[in-house]
Amino acid sequence: MSINIVQGVETDQETEAIQEARRQVEICNACRYCEGYCSVFPAITRKRLFAEGDLTQLANLCHNCRGCYYACQYTEPHEFALNIPKILAEVRSESWETFAWPGGLARRFQESGVTMALLLTAGLALFFALIQFLQPESGRGFYAYLSHGLMVALFAPAFLLPLATIAISLRRYWRSVGGARVRLSQLKTAFLDAAQLRNLSGGQGQGCNFEQGTRYTDRRRWLHQAVLYGFLLCFASTSSATLMHYVMGWEAPYGFFTPPKLLGVPGGILLMIGTAGLAWLKLRAAPELGAVRVWGGEMAFVLLLFLVAATGLALYAASGTAAVSPLLAIHLGAVLTFFLLMPYSKMVHGFYRLAALVRDAQQKESTQ
């Protein structure tokens, strides 16, 4: 087996996707019609030759807005047959699978995501339903069904261990793309881009063409922002509840006018709106402009996140009723599934994209 040395990292023989991406990117670099689009095309113009790590960086910088495809004069039936959104999506998904740790799990989820998510959620929901028979001697709210200590013992490692595996994956990615020591200014630039989802505007400020080639819209950008900020609000809700419990000695359940509920309820609503909207857009968009092989895994991630938000809100609405027990089992099963699959689902794209934006900021500075 031949070995390529890419920016200090040994890799197996290049995949067909990498080779095809290089061919298409070199044509784009000669044409430069799309130079004013998203961050991908200015990054292309900074290179003459494209190593595997360069193509991996470009792929993770791409937001699949598809504006470049509809603007390109070299798409099929032209003999060049360019399809930059598709080939970068394929390289991107391959990079997540290659850098994932332990190896192999990411590929299985990408190709069988709906089945894996459903089976794992159902199995864990059954587990949480069964252990409710071991009800604690005391406790209020959810803790009348499952003790606080048991919940912490189950969810703390289920949250921290996936983060550790993501950190290993990101370290592999960073070495592959030739990342240097990160400066505060570069982090600031990357976080601002990520917070605004600037690249989903297609670089022209008109929106992207994800749904329809001739139609510019910011709908996908808004829905992504709903998911992003909804998730952050839910995370802040859980964090505030943790502080209230351990620092202030204020145990759950919490009333509506407390930080956990004031943050969590709108966060859950935003998550439901964002994930439902993104699933709808995904059904409307042309699959041949993305990585068809991983379509199911991407949809599974969106639906799983919707289930987490929907069952969380339903659980809050059902407080004090007999529905709490089954809803609690389903919600905890969905949350634990989300955590366990986080390093191998599309959730990891947020971490990779932020790393790609940081690396892009470094490359911009180095050329100034």
Q: Does residue 76 share a domain with residue 107?
A: no
Place of tokens 């008109």: 206
Q: Does residue 361 share a domain with residue 340?
A: yes
Angle, helices 148-176/324-341, rounded to nearest 10 degrees: 20
DSSP secondary structure code for residue 342 in this structure: T
Tokens of 109: 């989820």
pLDDT of 8: 36
What is the extent of the structural domain holding 275? 101-367
* pLDDT band (50, 70, 90) for residue 310: very high
Q: Does residue 160 share a domain with residue 80?
A: no
**For 28-78, what is each residue's pLDDT tens digit?**
999 998 887 888 999 999 988 999 999 999 999 998 888 888 889 999 999
Is the pTM value of this prediction over 0.85?
A: yes
**For 75-133, what is each residue's pLDDT tens digit?**
999 999 999 999 999 999 999 999 998 877 888 888 888 888 999 999 999 999 998 88
Q: Does residue 321 share a domain with residue 292?
A: yes
**pLDDT exceeds cutoff 70 at 3:** no
Nearest-angstrom CA–CA distance, 179 and 176: 8
Tokens of 265: 């309820």
pLDDT of 187: 94
Q: Does residue 115 share a domain with residue 94?
A: no
Nearest-angstrom CA–CA distance, 72 and 87: 14
Strand (E) or helix (H) holding 6 = strand 4-6
Q: Does residue 58 share a domain with residue 136?
A: no
Nearest-angstrom CA–CA distance, 126 and 195: 37
Q: Does residue 195 share a domain with residue 68?
A: no
Q: Does residue 92 share a domain with residue 123?
A: no
Q: Does residue 289 share a domain with residue 312?
A: yes
Q: Does residue 119 share a domain with residue 63?
A: no
**Residue 212 CB partners (closer than 8 Å, separation 6+):** 284
pLDDT of 320: 83
**Residue 229 CB partners (closer than 8 Å, separation 6+):** 267, 270
Q: Does residue 61 share a domain with residue 187?
A: no
Q: Does residue 246 share a domain with residue 138?
A: yes
Boundary residue ending a domain (66, 98, 130) = 98
How many domains does the chain divide into?
2
Please state the length of the chain. 368
- The three-state secondary structure class of 5 is strand
Nearest-angstrom CA–CA distance, 40 and 24: 13
pLDDT of 51: 95
Top-confidence range, 5-9, 154-158, 229-233: 229-233
